[in-house]
Amino acid sequence: MNVGSRAFWLHMQKMSKATVVLLLVAHAFSIVVEGQIIPNSSFENWIFNGSWEDPQGWGTPNGTTFIMGFSTVTKSNTVVVGNYSVKLATRSQANLVVPGVIATGSVDVFASVFKGGFALTDSFKFLTGFYRYITDTSISDLDSALILSYLWRWNAALGKRDTVAKAYFLAPYAGTFKPFTISYQYNASVKPDSGIIVIASTKNLKQPKPSGTLWIDHLEFSNHVGIAHPQHAVKVFVLPNPVSTMLQIVVPHVEAIPSFCLYTVNGQQIAGFTHVRNSLLLPVLHEGIYFYKMQLASGDVVAGKLFIKHPD
């Protein structure tokens, strides 16, 4: 370890635990999906801390690594939707390798400890979002990004949180944004009352590789592989979602849908269909988020988001 790294660790030992472990709790910006809240889920809001920026509602190692002159978590203009995504980059200095890590709670990246979380009121099946991940192709054993989530419920009798479910995904190389859907594996039938999401630019936090850059955008919770609209008297299912070319629209007991329109995130209509019967072939589109609007025979208008993903 060189002089600079030694000085860094000496300074770390002098810092208080409250300074080293950064905890951000914020509710100013959130997206509600099926009754659940992920803080700042599209990473549009950022907090300037004097020497670095952090995504609001998420803990990062930046409060520690700024002493070394860099941040492993930064704001990015490479996006799927909105103005910003979050960029996590593994950085190295001398013999010290620091991964980019964010968590909906506090982060102690050097001890791989994550605390805190956010409140939940119900169960759900999937965590979805978009990621882009690039690595140093000169390294024979390429790294993967890590997306991990735990759901808990407080056990009053034992005075601790019990793990209700876990979602785990090792994201491989992706040169452009790709959608992901992770299933929660439940080990109990009770509803969770809190949870945490941890995302990292490496699959091994304790022995990270000296490369790997990850972008994350537009996280959501879902209980459907497709998107359902149970608020209408007639349930409408749009699936699969993400979709490549053939879209299925299921409206029980309805023979045809009068109109179905597809829009970009900027509101520009790019496709329109009439008298849709169960399925339609989409035009060739770039990967990303689009919006649809359909009019039912009942006169109801149903709108939602559609994720386009090209076949691998």
> What amino acid occupies position 153?
R
pLDDT tens-digit readout, 96-140:
889 999 999 888 877 778 888 899 888 888 898 889 999 876 665
What's the count of helices (H) and strands (E) in the chain, helices before strands? 3, 28
286 alpha carbon, distance to own chain's centre:
20
pLDDT band at residue 297 under the 50/70/90 scheme: confident
Greatest alpha-carbon pair distance for the chain in Å reads 74
How confident is the model over 240-244, as a mean pLDDT? Answer: 86
The domains found in the chain, sorted by start residue, are: 3-222 (2.60.120.890), 227-308 (2.60.40.1930)
pLDDT at 213: 95
pLDDT tens-digit readout, 20-58:
222 222 222 222 333 347 899 989 999 998 889 999 999
- Hey, what's the torsion of the CAs at 237, 238, 240, 245, to 10 degrees? 150
- Hey, what's the torsion of the CAs at 101, 94, 18, 146, to 10 degrees? 10
Beta-bridge partner residues of 268: none
Decide if 49 contacts 59 (C-beta within 8 A). Answer: no
How confident is the model over 10-22, as a mean pLDDT? Answer: 34
Helices (H), the chain: 3-14, 17-20, 62-65
Cβ-based neighbours of 136, under 8 Å, separated by 6 or more = 209, 210, 211, 212
How confident is the model over 246-271, as a mean pLDDT? Answer: 81
Helix (H, G, I), strand (E, B) or coil at 77: coil
Helix (H, G, I), strand (E, B) or coil at 74: strand
Beta-bridge partner residues of 186: 165
Distance (Å, whole) CA 303 – CA 312: 28
Residue 285 has pLDDT above 60, yes or no: yes
pLDDT band at residue 294 under the 50/70/90 scheme: confident
Distance (Å, whole) CA 192 – CA 139: 40
Distance (Å, whole) CA 162 – CA 174: 35
Which pair of tokens denotes residue 118? 């956010």
pLDDT tens-digit readout, 55-72:
999 999 999 888 888 999
Angle at the Cα of 242 (from 306 to 46), degrees rounded to 5?
Answer: 70
pLDDT at 137: 63
> What amino acid occupies position 22?
L
Provide the whole-model pTM.
0.68
Distance (Å, whole) CA 4 – CA 289: 45
> What amino acid occupies position 164?
V
User: Picking from 203-207, 220-224, 275-279, which range would have the lowest pLDDT averaged per residue?
Assistant: 220-224
How confident is the model over 137-161, as a mean pLDDT? Answer: 87
